[in-house]
Amino acid sequence: MDKRALLTHLQSTCPPTFLKEHHLLGPPKLILKKRNRDHMSAAASAWSAELSSKRSRDCPPRPSDASTYDSRLIAAYKLLLHRHSLSSSTPLSETSVLLLHEDFASPLPIYNTSSSSAPVGHVIVVLGGVRDQSPVEIKSLLLACADLGVACRGCNLGRVPEFTSKIAGVMSFHEQSGRLSNAVGRLDVIENATLEKLPPTRAGEAEEYNPDCGTMATVYFAPYPAAALEGDDRDLLYPLINLSVCAIWRSHIAHDLKGDMAAAKAASLTVVFECGRVISGNRGDFMKAMEGVGGAPTEAHVLGCLKKFAEASERSGERVGEVVKQTLPSGLEKSRRKKLRVLDVKADEDSLDISAKAYEGDGAVGSADVVVLYGLKAGHGEEIDEAAQEWYRGDGKKKKKTSKERRFYHKVKVGDEELFPGRVTTVLQQIDNVGRLAQALP
């Protein structure tokens, strides 16, 4: 931070008596001529120390059981919060800490637009990476926030465990949509350093476990031949690698899929290469190809899976309608087949904004079954609709003359900006995890 930004932060945060004591009271232009950056940094450190000392005197007593918190962690959290305040020129009183975990009791009220709230200032999102935060780490953070007068809240983004990177992508999208600040403001501030948690949903930790709300098949039309998988052009292949992770993987997936064939088939990825080669695999197929690899996959692991599928595939030269028909789920009840939609993602003005539709209304309406297309050239809508109608009626059945044609194909977008396919998929998954994708479908 340069000295002008430091001075602006101090003059907007500190009382006149402190500014006068440190020779920082007066016109900014004049002070910037007389004082250097070191002087202002020293004043900022002095103010942080004074603020911490005052709040330590006023803070509630520590719990008698020291095993529930860690004094060193509390000091580290305080230092990080002070650094954020200085770097962002945001007073701690206008900062809100948001803890995320699928087992926290309150869902993020991002979709509830009917209730008003006071938007918060800066939001610092805290969540586990690779492993969950321990109870001691959570308690220490809550105590640090209480000492500094920082509002702390907790929520979930649905009960499905997800990769940290995917959660970060969803939070970033909510922020870009201009809805995150108001949503955080609707959450209750944590009192007495106590955060309510729900019973766990993970396999082996709960009596019932059903992480998938519906089925989501993803089809990517790659603008290069299958031979590109053997090359080393990362920039070319990254969108496909990223989409593979977002479409197939989530946290604890290998453990949760054991013996659960429905969950294994609930997500799939099909890639249609420019040369006509088609490869496809569901979640179970990818996990089998990755057998022996623990944790999150690396780019090399994902690329290795795609190469295996390409070597084994005998599919080639299929029409778009046939590709889509092959991805449509089998065994669905007729009531669910009626509601299935094929979503062609294109950031065009006339595309329906799925995220905007999901933000509307108050209530979740249940699961959705979708096929999501990326990179498809224009002009295939009728062909896809015809293939989906054949799937709906059942193989070999002819359309009745009086029956009404159902519209399965729709052109959609997620937000106003063009996003990586992986980011779009992540947002659609999160909307489905909270039961709102069905209401957003056309």
- Classified as helix, coil or strand, 228 is helix
Q: How confident is the model at residue 349 (pLDDT cuts 50, 70, 90)?
A: confident
Amino acid at residue number 389: Q
Interval 12-16 mean pLDDT: 77
Top-ranked range on mean pLDDT: pick from 147-151, 181-185, 296-300, 320-324: 320-324
The residue whose two tokens read 């070191």 is: 38
Look up the CATH architecture of domain 215-440: 3-Layer(aba) Sandwich (3.40)
- Are the C-beta atoms of residues 23 and 43 closer than 8 Å to each other? no
Look up the CATH architecture of domain 1-58: Orthogonal Bundle (1.10)
Amino acid at residue number 184: V
The pLDDT tens digits of the residues spanning 128-150 come to: 887 888 888 998 999 999 989 89
Interval 217-240 mean pLDDT: 94
**1-58 and 215-440: same fold?**
no
Residues 323, 321: Cα–Cα separation, whole Å: 5
Tell if the pTM clears 0.85, that is, is over it.
no
| Whole-number average pLDDT of the chain | 83
Q: Which of 14-23, 83-92, 260-269, 365-374 is predicted with the least confidence, judged by mean pLDDT?
A: 260-269
Q: How confident is the model at residue 397 (pLDDT cuts 50, 70, 90)?
A: low
**Higher confidence at residue 194 or residue 279?**
279
- Classified as helix, coil or strand, 292 is coil
Q: Which of 54-63, 174-183, 202-211 is predicted with the least confidence, judged by mean pLDDT?
A: 202-211
Q: Which of 280-294, 298-312, 341-355, 377-391 is predicted with the least confidence, judged by mean pLDDT?
A: 280-294
Q: How confident is the model at residue 252 (pLDDT cuts 50, 70, 90)?
A: low
Interval 38-62 mean pLDDT: 70
Q: Which of 71-85, 126-140, 209-223, 409-423 is predicted with the least confidence, judged by mean pLDDT?
A: 209-223
> Which residue ranges make up each domain of the chain?
1-58, 60-198, 215-440
pLDDT over threshold 70, residue 28: yes
- Classified as helix, coil or strand, 143 is helix
Q: How confident is the model at residue 359 (pLDDT cuts 50, 70, 90)?
A: confident
- Classified as helix, coil or strand, 409 is strand
The pLDDT tens digits of the residues spanning 166-202 come to: 999 999 999 998 889 989 998 989 887 677 777 776 5
Residues 27, 170: Cα–Cα separation, whole Å: 43
Q: Identify the burial level of 293 via C-beta atoms within 10 angstroms of its C-beta, where 0-12 means exposed, 13-18 middle and 19 or more buried.
A: middle
- Are the C-beta atoms of residues 431 and 371 closer than 8 Å to each other? no
Q: How far is CA 260 from CA 248, 266, 328, 367, in A?
A: 15, 10, 19, 18
Residues 397, 415: Cα–Cα separation, whole Å: 39
pLDDT over threshold 70, residue 152: yes
Q: Within 10 A of 344 (CB to CB), how many other CB atoms are there?
A: 23
